[in-house]
Structure 1
Amino acid sequence: MPSIQGRIIFCGENPEMKLYRPDTEQLVALASYWRCTFSLHGIGNALVINVESDTPNTPMLQGIYTDNFELGRWLADTFVQHFEDFKGRGWPQIQLTQARFVQEMDSRRYHRVAVYSANDHLILTWDEALAQRLFHVPQLTTGLNGETKHDVYTVICPCKTGSIVVNGQGVEGQVRSDLSDPNWPRCTAFMAFSETWVEK
């Protein structure tokens, strides 16, 4: 049986969501959730989230919620800060928030994550999964200063709808979807299962 060479540094799940103000190009919220089943920093959960306010450059909420501080810091600094639209938001300077995570899911259709901290209660829902496909993304830029590269293997499930609720208030944004390709829908919310990061 052939194997893939390299050091495995992360296994788990990594759904992502980007919400836009209806009928505009304005990004109002972005979230990267991580459920880690294996890493060199232990297991656990982390949510990296930014929700915009009506004041430019002043987020209503920006945080890194986690139940494993070492893991949460590593995920945000090594990976998330390099993701599209997450770049340039100062994640290495954001303090971590201790949180508890509760999941509800049927991976064929939806995934819901509730996050509880001392001051906040967040609910993120990925819904109406449209398809599933295995991807290999080679040579992603990673590391605190972009000094390393990793290959990623993951099962992506685009979701037609998604929502974020912050302390009982729903974020006024929606998932953008392009359903023009019958073979592969493109959505700004997706579930990501069986995700493995390999250091080359």
Structure 2
Amino acid sequence: MGLLATAAPASAADDAPDSNPALRKPILVGANPGLQLFDTSGSCTAYVSTWQVEWSTHGAGNALVLWRPDGVRVVGEDPHLALWLADHFVRHFPELEGLPWPSPRFHRSTVQVRLDLASGLQARGGGIDVRMAEVLDRRAFATDQFPLGGVEHSLSLVLGPCGRARAVVDGRIQPGEISRGGTPDRPSSSAFLAAAEVWRA
């Protein structure tokens, strides 16, 4: 009885999922490759977030989210899912920090995604065509401190940085180049595969 009597009661804050990662539940399972292009001054010219959702609290399916200085285009068959991916996830990604986020324009279209950790990515739909190749590495990543809209989320995935990538929008190759860095043992790239991805909140 002594130990139980002196133990401090758990506070409501300690029981909140955002403060206790062990209480967080999956909200999305799937894959989310990303491609960011930069001009010679280092400014972002385009960011494409590809989604292959096996299960989520908002349904399953594929989607593409394209950010450019002239606006945000969201492509998918289910607007409920696709716009949730754009607003809950993509708009809060670090790649877009400090960049404007106008109201997304939804385009209903089938999105085809072919993701292979050995060879790369092919994804297209709604006038957007994304290709990534030359997978440089494959490594696991996990964190319990990924904020989305001020709320901490847990994220785990397998990352595959790529050495080559391009995005074509409405028949035009998007300007800019990918950014590569890191070391030979741990390369990084602004074109990356992200598979076996689980978000918890």
Same fold (TM over 0.5): yes
Q: Which runs of 4+ in 1 moved over 4 A?
A: none
Relative distance call for 1:162 and 1:103 in structure 2 (3 A) is same
**8 Å CA contact 2:30, 2:196 repeated in 1:** yes
Query: 1:89: Cα distance to partner?
Result: 2.6
**8 Å CA contact 2:75, 2:111 repeated in 1:** no
**8 Å CA contact 2:64, 2:111 repeated in 1:** no
Q: How does 1:130-141 map to 2 (within 5 A)?
A: 130-141=136-147
Select the residue among 80, 83, 89 that pairs with 1:79: 89
Q: How does 1:1-200 map to 2 (within 5 A)?
A: 5-21=23-39, 23-52=40-69, 59=70, 62-87=72-97, 88-91=99-102, 93-116=103-126, 121-142=127-148, 146-179=149-182, 181-199=183-201
SS of the aligned residue for 2:176 comes to coil
Aligned length: 179
**8 Å CA contact 1:123, 1:166 repeated in 2:** yes
**8 Å CA contact 1:161, 1:174 repeated in 2:** no
Question: Which range moves more in the overlay, 106-115 or 154-163?
Answer: 106-115
One-letter code aligned to 2:65: V
Unaligned runs of 5+ in 1: 53-58
> Hey, what's the Cα distance between the residues in 2 that align with 1:176 and 1:114?
22
Cα RMSD (Å) of the superposition?
1.7
TM-score normalised according to structure 2 size: 0.82
TM-score normalised according to structure 1 size: 0.82
Query: 1:5: Cα distance to partner?
Result: 4.9
Question: Which entry has the higher C-alpha Rg, 1 or 2?
Answer: 2
